[in-house]
Amino acid sequence: MWNNRPSQQGLFIVISGPSGTGKTSVIRALCESDPTLAFSISATTRPPRSDETNGVDYHFLDHTEFEDLIQSDGFLEWVKYGEHYYGTLKSTIESTVGSGKDLILEIDVHGAKKIRNLGIRYTSIFLLPPSLESLEKRLRNRKTESDSELQQRLLIARSESDFISGYDYCIVNPDHNVEKAVTQIRHIISAERCRIDDQLLAAISQEFSSTQ
């Protein structure tokens, strides 16, 4: 029957945006407000920040562990961002697919492109800060990067804007109002859950043919 949506397969929702836009806070609030959403915990060689927990925010690995996983084909995608590796583990995806949950991937623009090139269907959302000035202020205020790392992140942010045209949706995360972006993403997800796909068409066709 067709009234069992969301489909068994679940949605892939890719969220990208410049460092400091507030992606993590938005995604945390989003997942807390909707238990049918699962966050894909990436692996990284970046050291944990004071408020981060291994296995919750990231799987924190050393360079050798990460490179071994690259060699053994353990990643769906991986990138070098600044001085560090980041990647989506295949094992994380495999444990979520089939659970019926929709998976949120917080990945950079190059990772998103790699996943698209693999032919995986996903919904992509680009999160923007209200302005570049506000982005710089947010990065400075959180005090998690050295000055040179901060400058590097601002440079990367400028280059990332070239990729926005490849995204399905773009929303602005205003200062001091996580809820606004969360609500907009929830609306996008609701709409995507109503999208016509082969599974729905098959269910409708089966229902009609069985009641003829």
Scanning 29-37, 101-109, 116-124, 185-193 for contacts with ligand 5GP by CB under 6 A, the matching segment is: 101-109
**Total residues at the site for ligand 5GP (CB under 6 A)?**
14
Chain Cα centroid distance, residue 46: 18
Q: Which x/- pattern, by CB under 6 A, does the window 69-88 give for ligand 5GP?
A: --------x-x-x----xxx
Binding track over 30-49 against ligand 5GP, x by CB under 6 A: ------------x---x---
- Dihedral-angle region of residue 143 (phi above 0 means left; psi in -120 to 50 means alpha; beta otherwise): left
108 contacts ligand 5GP (rule: CB under 6 A): yes
- 113 counts as binding ligand 5GP under rule CB under 6 A: no
Binding positions for ligand 5GP, 159-198, rule CB under 6 A:
none
Amino acid at 157: A
Shortest separation between residue 191's beta carbon and ligand 5GP, angstroms: 23
Q: Is residue 129 a contact point for ligand 5GP (CB under 6 A)? A: no
Cβ proximity to ligand 5GP: between 11 and 150 the closer is 150
Stretch that binds ligand 5GP, among 30-38, 66-74, 108-116, 161-169 (CB under 6 A): 108-116
Amino acid 113 reads: K
Burial 42-59 (b: 16+ CB within 10 A, else e): bbbbbeeeeeeeeeebbb
Q: Which is nearer to ligand 5GP, 120 or 202 (CB)?
A: 120
Beta strands in the chain (DSSP E): 12-16, 37-39, 43-44, 59-60, 75-81, 84-89, 102-106, 123-128, 169-172
Give the start-end residues of each E strand in 84-189: 84-89, 102-106, 123-128, 169-172
* 120: Cβ contacts below 8 Å, ≥ 6 apart: 12
- Pick 93 or 200: Cβ nearer ligand 5GP: 93
- Specify which residues 43 forms β-bridges with: 59, 87
DSSP state of 54: B
Using the minimum distance from each CB to ligand 5GP, give the nearer residue, 113 or 193: 113
Q: Which residues here bind ligand 5GP, judged by CB under 6 A? A: 19, 42, 46, 77, 79, 81, 86-88, 106-108, 110-111
